[in-house]
Amino acid sequence: MKKAIVLINALSEKATEDELDVLDQASLIEETLELLGYESERLFMDFDLKKIHDQIVSANPDLVINLVESLEQDARLIHWSPSFLTHLNLPYTGCDAESMYVSSNKILAKKLMTSYQIATPLLITDVNSGQFSPDTTYIAKPVWEDASVGISDANVMKGSPANISAFLLNNPGRPWFFEEFIPGREFNISMLGGNEGPEVLPMAEIVFNDYPEGKPLIVGYEAKWKEDSFEYKHTVRRFGIEQEDPELTEKMKEICHQCWKVFGLSGYVRVDLRVNTQNQPLVLEINANPCLSPDAGFYAAAEKAGYNFSQVLSRIIEDAYSKINR
């Protein structure tokens, strides 16, 4: 039997919903690994690199499933584990350190997109640059978070100097950037790697049901994680754009493939986009190694494509091995 390590970031004592989610993914993966002929061992990574080094080396795995999302709750360290696994010359699932870093640093990601003509909403990093227009709506986003951490209705505002400085004053403690707010339709598009190359899975649209007039249509923290909230209950995933609008589908598909290439992605990825009034899709972000839990977007898209989770994991593993053989 082959051996796989399921590598997870050590969780904080009072772990939040978005943090705990990795354990659901780990359980699903461990069950599936068994079906694929692997025995698995779960290891937790923290700042003690010597300890995790020795644990991995003594386990002598054929493969590592990299589920590390942060270290010491700091998402800026997301690329440490793929760097470390590259150093150990072990096949590991998901994106490599470079793609993790450039996609997770959202400012860097947007700059890279822009330099390759991948459309993304206007970026403002310097609040004193005079780029804000008081009549335009913007959204403030944390540079280093994902999973909608730090995103709520208060992040959406008109670009008056008073609004911008009030937001920054009320939200200290993490770096922010601003983006032009795109009020159009939102799509989450999952891509699956494997020996046959990346495949764009059925595209999920996030529909905002019965939102009161004036309430920003965004998938903030509540909508993603707080099951009792209005936002969670009123945002639903739907499929079908491929049949309804082949032209828009083709545009989004092409953008996703471009992202895969430019960012050197591998394994499994989800690209979040919004469509502007000219029917032009703009990339909000690239999620390298998105959540694989059964209630999350990637799983739903794979299911819609007719894949079971063993097939999904096999394809992710194919990419892990093909990277090491390059």
Ligand X SMILES: Nc1ncnc2c1ncn2[C@@H]1O[C@H](COP(=O)(O)OP(=O)(O)O)[C@@H](O)[C@H]1O
List of residues contacting ligand X (CB under 6 A) = 121, 139, 141, 146-148, 151, 179, 181-182, 186, 218-219, 272, 274, 284-285
Nearer to ligand X, 139 or 248 (CB): 139
Nearer to Mg ion, 179 or 272 (CB): 272
Residue 320 contact partner, candidates Mg ion, ligand X, none, CB within 5 to 8 A by sort of partner: none
- Contact present, 88 and 106 (Cβ < 8 Å): no
- Contact present, 28 and 293 (Cβ < 8 Å): yes
- Contact present, 144 and 216 (Cβ < 8 Å): no
Residue 179 contact partner, candidates Mg ion, ligand X, none, CB within 5 to 8 A by sort of partner: ligand X
Among positions 13-32, residues that touch Mg ion (CB under 5 A) are none
Q: How far is the CB of 196 from ligand X (least distance, A)?
A: 28
Q: How far is the CB of 146 from ligand X (least distance, A)?
A: 3
DSSP-based helix, strand, coil % in the chain, nearest 5: 40, 20, 40
Q: How far is the CB of 189 from ligand X (least distance, A)?
A: 12
Give the range of 12-20, 250-258, 269-277, 292-300 binding Mg ion by CB under 5 A: 269-277
Residue 218 contact partner, candidates Mg ion, ligand X, none, CB within 5 to 8 A by sort of partner: ligand X
Nearer to ligand X, 73 or 311 (CB): 73
Q: How far is the CB of 188 from ligand X (least distance, A)?
A: 8
Nearer to ligand X, 56 or 77 (CB): 77
Question: How many Cβ atoms from other residues are within 10 Å of residue 288's Cβ?
Answer: 27
Answer yes or no whether residue 272 interacts with Mg ion by CB under 5 A: yes
Distances (CA, A) of 103 to 74, 199, 281: 15, 19, 18
- Closest residue to ligand X, judged by C-beta, is 146
Nearer to ligand X, 182 or 269 (CB): 182
Helix crossing, 49-59 with 80-87: angle to 10°? Answer: 50
Task: Find tokens 């989450």 and name the residue.
Answer: 188
Residue 290 contact partner, candidates ligand X, Mg ion, none, CB within 5 to 8 A by sort of partner: none
Q: How far is the CB of 272 from Mg ion (least distance, A)?
A: 4
39-74 burial code (b ≥16 CB/10 A, e <16): ebebbebeeeeeebeebbeeeebebbbbbbbbbeee
Nearer to ligand X, 44 or 211 (CB): 211
- What H or E segment, with its residue span, contains residue 9? strand 2-9
Nearer to ligand X, 15 or 36 (CB): 15
Number of residues binding to Mg ion, judged by CB under 5 A: 1
How buried is residue 151: exposed, middle or buried, by Cβ count under 10 Å (0-12/13-18/19+)?
buried
- Contact present, 287 and 293 (Cβ < 8 Å): no
Instruction: Give bridge partners of residue 3 from the DSSP assignment.
Output: 39
Residues of this chain that interact with Mg ion (CB under 5 A) are: 272
